[in-house]
Amino acid sequence: MNIYPVILTGGAGSRLWPASREHYPKPLLPLFGDRTLLQETSLRLDGIPTANPLYICNEEHRFLLAEQVQSIGLKPEAIILEPEGRNTAPALTVAALMLEKADPESVMVVMPADHVIPDREQFQTAVNRGVELAMDGYLVTYGVVPAYPETGYGYIRQGKSLGNGAVVDRFVEKPDQATAKKYVDSGDYLWNSGIFTMRVDRWLEEVGQYAPEILRTCREAVRQGRRDQDFCRMQNQAFLECPSDSIDYAVMEKTDGAVVVPLEADWSDLGVWSALWDVSSKDAEGNVTRGDVLMHDVHDSLLLSEGRCLAAVGVRDLIVVETTDAVLVVDRKRSQDVKSIVQQLKEKEREEHRVHSRVYRPWGDYESIDSGTRYQVKRITVKPGASLSLQLHHHRAEHWIIVRGTARVTRDEEVFTLTENQSTYIPLGVKHRLENPGTIPLEIIEVQSGSYLGEDDIVRFEDIYDRCEGN
């Protein structure tokens, strides 16, 4: 019997804006410690003999995810790419279908990639108990023993005892404060963690019974899909026909095989900035700081700076998050409402909800340093051995200045090399490519000029990263 970690990395984490954004969501961020949340989740089962993990992620994030996993020495069983998010039930179903043929009685431990669980030993103890129940055919979820009456989580009511767990009596939605207090005082309720353990064959049986359309469309998407090294691409149209539903709603609330195992491991889903303050070490005044922060008479606050000096005087219960292109200031008790700002950004069609000023690509990254009418200036970094696509632009020309490293430039039929302090010009409508043949990162300054400077003004002719759009 093999145990496969199945790690779900979907979700933009809008309540953790401006750090978390659609193109660089919270699982990929080091919000708690030096490792990212994804890396911490990937290592959470260290000490339990497991097979290689499966990851489910958005296509946009595939190279970032692969790099982060590789950097901690793990080899994925598969990185499953969703053309569009369909919630957790389809994601788990696709993972199970990937394992069905080779190992149908294997056990999946399903973990969202954005949780913080400091007590790894207690977590592993709970997982081992869940694996035992899963081997007997139960669908296991983990209920966090509540520390206080939280209104931001769903709850699970425990029924009769069953081994190291209990039969799930019912799932309940997020309660109001009074109801949450009743739940906690009763001792019968646990927070719904969103972590699961079940056999592959049992999940497929249950989802086939209670959500047959999810199983049908996912099976077709996998059947028509293709594998590209570690990346597993589903057939787009088949998957887009799949209903969007959670594991809880699709199966767990309907099945009579649901069991809950109590979890006492200082769990947090880190969904809001106040949760980061809750789980972080604090100074004598109750403050959590990171980056270049100066304070005077500040209490019980979270102050994070990415680069600029952040100074605060005479405040209490505040959250301030500084990034290169946005600053968030919010009452610590109102951090749930940050998503309303993200919604406003979307309605105004502003890019700050999607991307940071620094945008990551499989070949490296770029950062916008200045822009105005008909011009934009970027700092571009290309990894050693990497290359941008062979491409052209209909509406802009580009000037490239080499700051560091060596560049191989293709310009129509020309191929030539540039080094530090050298430059070139790419006229509008000319095919071109930028490559780094060296052993150190290539850094250039790119000055764009033209009538339209959007990232969608690009026509690709060759691309080693199998992309269809964007840079």
Q: Is residue 409 domain-resident?
A: yes
Residue 138 and residue 241 in one domain: yes
User: 1: buried, middle or exposed (CB in 10 Å: 19+, 13-18, 0-12)?
Assistant: exposed
Residue 258 and residue 278 in one domain: no
pLDDT at 468: 52
Residue 387 and residue 433 in one domain: yes
Residue 164 and residue 306 in one domain: no
Domain count, the chain: 3
Residue 259 and residue 281 in one domain: no
R_g of the chain computed on alpha carbons: 24
Is residue 363 over pLDDT 70?
Answer: yes
Decide: 51 and 4 in contact? Cβ < 8 Å.
yes
* DSSP character string of 191-238: EEEEEEEEEHHHHHHHHHHH-HHHHHHHHHHHHT-EEETTEEEPPHHH
pTM, 2 dp: 0.88
Q: Among the three residues 231, 263, 295, which one is the final residue of a domain in this structure? A: 263
DSSP 3-state assignment of 93? Answer: helix
Residue 142 and residue 55 in one domain: yes
Residue 24 and residue 124 in one domain: yes
pLDDT band at residue 214 under the 50/70/90 scheme: very high
Rounded CA-CA distance 431/461 in Å is 9
Q: Among the three residues 263, 283, 310, which one is the final residue of a domain in this structure? A: 263
Q: Is residue 346 domain-resident?
A: no
Q: Is residue 14 domain-resident?
A: yes
Residue 152 and residue 285 in one domain: no
- For 329-360, the pLDDT digits (tens) are 999 999 999 999 999 999 999 999 988 888 88
Decide: 263 and 142 in contact? Cβ < 8 Å.
yes
HSE toward the beta carbon, residue 167, CA cutoff 13 A: 8
Is residue 199 over pLDDT 70?
Answer: yes
pLDDT at 432: 97
Residues 6+ apart with CB under 8 A from 279: 32, 116, 118, 266, 268, 270
140 secondary structure, DSSP code: E
pLDDT at 471: 44
Rounded CA-CA distance 65/437 in Å is 24
Rounded mean pLDDT of 381-408?
97
Residue 322 and residue 434 in one domain: no
Helix (H) or strand (E) holding 42: helix 37-42
CATH of the domain at 406: 2.60.120.10
Place of tokens 């509540």: 146
HSE toward the beta carbon, residue 250, CA cutoff 13 A: 27
Rounded mean pLDDT of 292-304?
98
Decide: 202 and 52 in contact? Cβ < 8 Å.
no
Rounded mean pLDDT of 403-422?
97
Residue 401 and residue 252 in one domain: no
Q: Is residue 415 domain-resident?
A: yes
Rounded CA-CA distance 410/430 in Å is 10
Domain with 40, as residue range(s), is 3-263
- Per-residue b or e along 372-390, where b marks 16 or more CB atoms closer than 10 Å to that residue's CB: eeeebbbbbbbbeebbbbb
Residues 6+ apart with CB under 8 A from 233: 59, 81, 225, 226, 227
Give, rounded to a whole angstrom, the gap between the first and last alpha carbons of the chain.
43
Residues 6+ apart with CB under 8 A from 282: 288
Q: Is residue 243 domain-resident?
A: yes
Cα dihedral 115/58/105/142 (nearest 10): 20
Helix (H) or strand (E) holding 6: strand 3-8
Q: Among the three residues 263, 290, 306, which one is the final residue of a domain in this structure? A: 263
Q: Is residue 385 domain-resident?
A: yes
pLDDT at 84: 87
Residue 296 and residue 415 in one domain: no
Which amino acid would we find at residue 130?
A: G
Q: Is residue 113 domain-resident?
A: yes
pLDDT at 465: 82
- For 155-196, the pLDDT digits (tens) are 999 999 998 999 999 999 999 999 999 999 999 999 999 999
The whole-angstrom distance between residue 403's C-alpha and the CA centroid of its chain comes to: 32
Rounded CA-CA distance 395/455 in Å is 11
pLDDT at 467: 67
Rounded mean pLDDT of 85-112?
95
Is residue 152 over pLDDT 50?
Answer: yes
Q: Is residue 471 domain-resident?
A: no
DSSP 3-state assignment of 190? Answer: strand
CATH of the domain at 23: 3.90.550.10
What's the chain's average pLDDT? 94
Residue 45 and residue 179 in one domain: yes
